[in-house]
Amino acid sequence: MSTGPTAGTHRPADERRAQLLDAAVDVLREHGLKGLTTRAVTARAGVPHGIFHYAFGSKAALVRALVERELTGAAAAWGAAVESDDVPTALRQALLAQLDIVRTDPERDAYLTELVRAAQDDAGTRPALWEQDRYRAEVEHRLTAWSRDAGVRWAAPVADVAALVLSATDGVIQAWVVDRDDRRAEMSVDLLARAVASLALPA
């Protein structure tokens, strides 16, 4: 719950946005996408409805902020997992970190995916495309860092390798969402890491 005795008092804008984002997650979890309205979010947060417009201005801005927060968490998972300059090991750790985000809370992943897809044409915001571009840029950044630290070069343009990693990771995750087979998902991660690592050539 996001309510509290000081929910309606003055708080810095960043704190207020975080409070409303937490409330939006609660609403999505309990009522799904259809239940995600600005009034439902402010009611869950225990604040006047006008505060929503002060914090975000529109529902589309809220959606974008939710996606941004999830991307930040995904990027942090990559950064925390990757402590090796051995490319196959680093890739496996990073891919497992992404898989584990979903395995920890598959329900959360499901409603956020639905939210992004349903909102992709809202007022030109297209958060699905924006999310994909941001995530691919993060993967590209990591691949570039690994090639530099490990003294290798990629057999294809790094942007194309990043796109491969992104699409294949999505496939592994969606397969796990359907069958919940941990062994198969982890084997797929191993094979994917080895396949992508084979594209790393001596510099």
**Is 162 exposed, middle or buried (CB count within 10 Å of its CB: 0-12, 13-18, 19+)?**
buried
Q: pLDDT for 94-152, tens place per residue?
A: 889 889 989 998 888 788 777 777 665 445 556 567 677 877 888 888 888 888 888 88
Residue 4 has pLDDT above 50, yes or no: no
pLDDT attached to residue 118? 64
Name the pLDDT band for 79 (thresholds 50, 70, 90).
Answer: low
Residue 2 has pLDDT above 60, yes or no: no
Name the pLDDT band for 196 (thresholds 50, 70, 90).
Answer: very high
Residue 27 has pLDDT above 80, yes or no: yes
Contact 143, 161 (CB under 8 A): yes
Q: pLDDT for 158-169, tens place per residue?
A: 999 999 998 999
Residue 35 has pLDDT above 70, yes or no: yes
Name the pLDDT band for 177 (thresholds 50, 70, 90).
Answer: very high
Percentage of the residues of the chain whose pLDDT score is greater than 90: 39
Annotate 139-185 with three-state secondary structure: HHHHHHHHHHHHCEEECCCHHHHHHHHHHHHHHHHHHHHHHCCHHHH
Single pTM value for the model = 0.74
Percentage of the residues of the chain whose pLDDT score is greater than 70: 81
Alpha helix segments (H runs only) across the chain: 13-31, 38-45, 50-55, 59-81, 87-104, 106-118, 127-150, 158-179, 182-197
Angle in degrees, 0-180, between the axes of helices 59-81 and 127-150, rounded to the nearest 10: 20
Lookup: tokens for 113: 């995916």
pLDDT attached to residue 93? 87
Q: pLDDT for 48-62, tens place per residue?
A: 999 998 899 888 888
Q: Which residue has the higher pLDDT, 198 or 59?
A: 198
pLDDT attached to residue 6? 45
Q: Which residue has the higher pLDDT, 86 or 14?
A: 14
Distances (CA, A) of 105 to 21, 56, 80, 190: 17, 26, 19, 22
